Amino acid sequence: MSAPRVYVLNGPNLGRLGTRQVDVYGVTSYAGLVALCVATGRELGLDVTVRQTDAEHELIGWLHEAADEGAAVVLNPAAWSHYSIAVRDACALLRGPLVEVHISNIHAREEFRHHSVVSAVATGVICGLGVDGYRLALRHLATRSG
């Protein structure tokens, strides 16, 4: 039997991790985040694919791909969390579980960041735990598929 597929999808500016607002997002680089997710997935028996884009249409295409496969998704929609109905609608098409992850605590930041349009269609939300939120999301998905 093959390992359950999980897409870890990241939105705009997350490719700048480690150099962008390290007081908010920490010092882990994007390459470090990818390595963390892949290693965690391997430990948990998951087939993890990690992607990042600054192009909304590309993220939507990846969500459609996950929906077609019935795959689970860990999603950090970044700024699109707060206003992209298109990303939210693509998330609503998912047949597998969706865990929304934010590195920072969006509720402790600027008012415009407090609401996520994606949360209403997510299985669960993790925010404010740094990159460890990704590890926790993958652990949750592994327990759901086991």
Listed in sequence order, the residues at least 6 apart from 44 whose beta carbon sits closer than 8 Å to its beta carbon are: 138, 139, 142
pLDDT digits (tens, 9 = 90+) for 91-106: 999 999 999 999 988 8
Residue 81 has pLDDT above 60, yes or no: yes
Single-letter code of the amino acid located at 138? L
51 labelled binding-site residue = no
The domain locations on the chain are 5-145
User: Mean pLDDT over residues 19-23, rounded?
Assistant: 71
Listed in sequence order, the residues at least 6 apart from 107 whose beta carbon sits closer than 8 Å to its beta carbon are: 113, 114, 127, 128
Q: Locate 105 and state its tokens.
A: 């605590």
**pLDDT attached to residue 28:** 77
**pLDDT attached to residue 25:** 62
Residue numbers annotated as active site: 25, 102
Residue 146 has pLDDT above 60, yes or no: no
CA-based nearest residue to 136, from 60, 74, 51, 85 = 74
57 labelled binding-site residue = no
Q: Which CATH number fits domain 5-145: 2.40.50.100, 3.30.70.380, 2.40.30.10, 3.40.50.9100?
A: 3.40.50.9100
115 labelled binding-site residue = no
Average pLDDT in the chain: 92
113 labelled binding-site residue = yes
pLDDT digits (tens, 9 = 90+) for 108-136: 777 867 789 999 999 999 999 999 999 99
Predicted TM-score (pTM) of this structure: 0.93
